[in-house]
Chain A
């Protein structure tokens, strides 16, 4: 694929798709038409040269293909229900030619919000957003979510069908805020999917994380000017800090823990951007993304693992614990408190905690070992091994127990 084309695919896909959806009121048609247009471009641009206005070329080609499909369909008499689109928007979308000088009206917000529709389960919404808004090919979306391409294609089709007949619009007030909250969660889910341990090649993981960051950037760009942005800024900062460690978090296929990472391999520009985003939020009301971002930034600005301000991190986790009441947060808080005030203080916070999976007994085992209670640590490790379903992690736990 030529550079011009892959650039257009990255930058224009969501914009053009939103416009086509506004015109034809069907996700499936709009998407197929646009995919056809990109395919035609890949065939003709290398020989005929890149057109003066690539988006206009792609838009015209996509409309032609879509019209063809509509004719075929009229014959086959099988149609999906139409999305509800405001009449003037549809008219505008039909009129726009994206010719030289004319700016394509940005309807990506509608597309982003449609993908975050409450009728979709979050993982489906995340996959659909990557596909529709960011133009990530289905095959790559499938790899990111660790399923086969046909499975992902079927999941995406189900999601599109579910959305047929919904509103392609921008809700107001509280509903808009709620919908943006879903998009934020979708972006963060896609981001963390990328960083799940042992979930594929590192390159791929960094790829999905970068796409999720792009989604948050697009969202900030297309939201109305007066929309409150603190939560999105905090989320972007959180993602940037975590993403800045991508080159340091794996070595020889194994996960490198934060304390052991080579800090010179952290991407400083991303950390700086995150800190700049967080600075105005220092006294903003606490929210889960903000507190997590502040914790992540605290690690990012420490010169070394030993210089980390654990008592400040423990304070942030206390706030987060009180705000969310999540057992996972309590677990992380206990680890931070153990660093600040010793393993016994950490262990006290784990008392009575219930959490499925092996993370809780693993943390307990490590704190017990640090406190010198070797027998109790062995039992806790056994429980962790018994609860652990990931073979690589289980082998790692067996090894740690043997080293006690």
Chain B
């Protein structure tokens, strides 16, 4: 099994302006995603929605001598809005299921490096 991060970039102002109905529909898609992963043998081991990137803090400097700025590191329209951690041995099928969330945008899937030394 390999651990993958499913990164969900998106336009935050669109999400903020969405109606409750649209948000419900979006969450239902996430529900379908989680359900399909379970049905097809992928294991969700974590994940969460992130707060708006304006809440982000960027830290520079070193311990006990830091500079903190508000806002995201990357100044782009599309910001990371959430992520899932999925354990699977079938990347191709995981990518298929990610189609549920991609919609008009895109989803980025990245493997994590195995540091356990057993590989």
A382 touches B31 (CB 8 A): yes
CB-defined contacts of A395 to chain B, threshold 8 Å:
38
Q: Is A379 an interface residue (CB 8 A)?
A: yes
Report how far A385 CA is from B39 CA in the complex, Å.
13
Residue from the set B20, B27, B29, B46 with the largest chain A CB neighbour count within 10 Å = B27
Bits for B13-49, please: 1 = Cβ < 8 Å to A, else 0.
0000000100011111111111100100000111110
Contact across chains for B29 and A398 when beta carbons are under 8 A apart: no
Contact A383 B24 (CB under 8 A): yes
How far, in whole Å, are A395 and B26 apart by their CA atoms in the complex? 19
Asked, given contacts A354-B20, A395-B38, A398-B38, whether A386 binds B32 with beta carbons under 8 Å apart, the answer is yes
**Interface bits A363-403 vs B (CB < 8 Å: 1, else 0):** 00000000000000001011111111101001100100100
Q: Is the CB of B31 within 8 A of A391?
A: no
Closest CB-CB distance, B55 to chain A, in whole Å?
15
Contact check: which of A383, A391, A394, A398 meets B27 at CB < 8 Å?
A383
- Closest chain A residue, CB of each to CB of B43: A391
State whether the Cβ of A343 lies closer than 8 Å to any Cβ in chain B.
no
CB–CB A391/B45 < 8 A: yes
A-chain residues with CB within 8 Å of residue B25 when the two chains form the complex = 383
A387 and B48 alpha carbons, distance in the complex (Å) = 9
Q: Which one of A383, A388, A389 lies within 8 Å of B28 (CB-CB)?
A: A383
Interface size for B (C-beta < 8 A) is 19
* Known A-B contacts A379-B28, A382-B28; A398 and B34 likewise in contact (beta carbons under 8 Å): yes
- Least CB distance from B34 to A in Å reads 5
Known contacts A398-B35, A401-B35; A387 and B30 CB within 8 A of each other:
yes
Q: Report how far A354 CA is from B19 CA in the complex, Å.
A: 11
Give complex CA distance A379, B24 in Å.
9
Chain A residues whose C-beta falls within 8 Å of the C-beta of B46 in the assembled complex? 391
CB <8 Å contact, A386 and B20: no
Dominant secondary structure of chain A at its interface with chain B = helix
Q: C-beta contact mask, B81-100 vs A, less than 8 Å → 1, else 0?
A: 00000000000000000000
Among A379, A386, A388, A398, residue most surrounded by chain B Cβ atoms (within 10 Å): A386
Query: Which partner residue on chain B sits nearest A397 by CB separation?
Result: B31
Residues of chain B contacted by A385 (CB below 8 angstroms): 30-32, 34-35
Interface pair A361/B27, CB less than 8 Å apart: yes
Q: With a CB–CB cut-off of 8 A, which chain B residues contact A388?
A: 34
A311 CA / B81 CA spacing, docked (Å): 43
**Complex CA distance for A134 and B51, rounded to whole angstroms:** 36
A381 B44 Cβ-Cβ under 8 A: no
Whole-angstrom distance between the Cβ of A108 and the nearest chain B Cβ: 38
- For residue A201, give the distance in angstroms from its CB to the closest CB of chain B: 22
Contact, CB under 8 Å: B28 / A386: yes
B30 vs chain A, min Cβ distance (A): 3
Q: Which of B31, B35, B45, B46 has the most CB of A within 10 A?
A: B31
Of B34, B38, B45, B48, the residue contacting A386 (CB under 8 A) is B34
CB neighbours of B44 from chain A (8 A): 391, 394
B35 touches A382 (CB 8 A): yes
**From B24, B30, B31, B47, contact of A381 by CB (8 A):** B31
Contacts of B27 in A (CB 8 A): 361, 382-383, 386-387
Cα distance, A388 to B47, chains bound together (Å) = 10
Q: How far apart sit A401 and B33, CA to CA, in the bound complex (Å)? A: 14
Least distance between A341 CB and chain B CB atoms (Å): 25
Q: Which residues of A contact B26 (CB under 8 A)?
A: 386
Alpha-carbon gap, A277 to B29, bound state (A): 48
Minimum C-beta distance from A48 to chain B (A): 46
CB distance from A58 to the nearest CB of B (A): 39
- Give the CA-CA distance A398 to B30 in the complex, in Å: 12
> Given the complex, which residues of A lie within 8 Å of B20, measured CB to CB?
354
8 tightest Cβ-Cβ pairs between the two chains A and B = A386-B30, A385-B31, A382-B31, A386-B31, A386-B27, A382-B28, A383-B28, A383-B27
With contacts A361-B24, A386-B33, A398-B35 known, what are 18 further pairs, Cβ within 8 A?
Answer: A381-B31, A382-B27, A382-B28, A382-B31, A382-B32, A383-B24, A383-B31, A384-B31, A385-B31, A386-B27, A386-B28, A386-B31, A386-B32, A386-B34, A391-B44, A391-B45, A394-B34, A401-B35
Contacts A/B (CB < 8 Å), 7 sampled: A354-B20, A383-B25, A383-B27, A383-B28, A385-B31, A391-B44, A401-B35
